[in-house]
Amino acid sequence: MPRQELEGKLTDLQQDYAKLRTEIFEAAQVHRRLCAPGHLRFGNFEIASEIFAVRHLPGDFFTVEEKSDGVIFALGDISGKGFAAGMWTSHLVGLVGARVAVTSRPEAIVAGVNRDICLLKSFMPLASLFLAKLDPITGLVRYCSAGHPPAFLLRANGELQLLSEGGLLLGVLPAAAYACGSFELGAGDVLLIYSDGITESLNCAGEEFGYGNLEDQLRRAQSGTADAVLFSVLGAVQDFAAAGPLVDDMSLAIIRRDGQGCGEGVLVTA
């Protein structure tokens, strides 16, 4: 093949690669806009969150929506990784949003989303979901977990509770029943929600970060702000994995009640 023709093909490949990178970047921006800002405050409740993708687009998401009777937040994890999982994310976020628009009951929202997924004539992968409604006046939280890793509730007095009330992964059985758990988030209490990419992060010896390390780091960072707790835990995971590659998408959300603020929710973007 003549040199000039080779150079022309190389130029075309470089242009195609540049377009692909631009499209990946734009798709990542769409995902970011679908998710909640990194830092929110509602009265004396702080919500901090972060998501890391293992391959371009994450299959994890975290959304927050304020309604007249409370604040609904949801962390979901679509099985798989890369573009396929990332493309399904927007669909699942839409299903959650549609159900939130008609009810504030966590178990009803999750059951409805599960039915929607099961009735689709598609090949949507299974997904886990932790969804909760917070009353920012009383601190009451009602939650439902669809096969999601147990959330950590660390009380100000050091007591730890694992929250897993709910039911099956989304997309398994259309008539699956989902239970609802509840608790009060008191001053100094911290709620930690995460995807399994956090606990399954590997170090150079092939060991997982695990629940024990996650609990230890949460306890060490408990007295800080939601942002401080978030980045302390993420930093511990990154230090544990060192230079090793991510094995799965990682998402983390911290909900913390302090002793300040009251009244209407105020959105602050980190």
pLDDT digits (tens, 9 = 90+) for 176-227: 999 999 999 999 999 999 999 999 999 988 899 999 999 999 999 999 999 9
Angle between helices 226-241 and 210-221 in degrees, nearest 10: 140
Given its phi and psi angles, is residue 263 left (phi above 0), alpha (psi -120 to 50 degrees) or beta? left
Whole-number Å distance between alpha carbons of 199 and 248? 10
| Residue 270 confidence class, pLDDT cut points 50, 70, 90 | very low
What number of helices (H) and strands (E) belong to the chain? 6, 13
| Residue 269 confidence class, pLDDT cut points 50, 70, 90 | very low
Domain 37-267 listed as CATH 3.60.40.10: yes
Report domain extents, the chain: 37-267
| Residue 85 confidence class, pLDDT cut points 50, 70, 90 | low
The whole-model pTM stands at 0.85
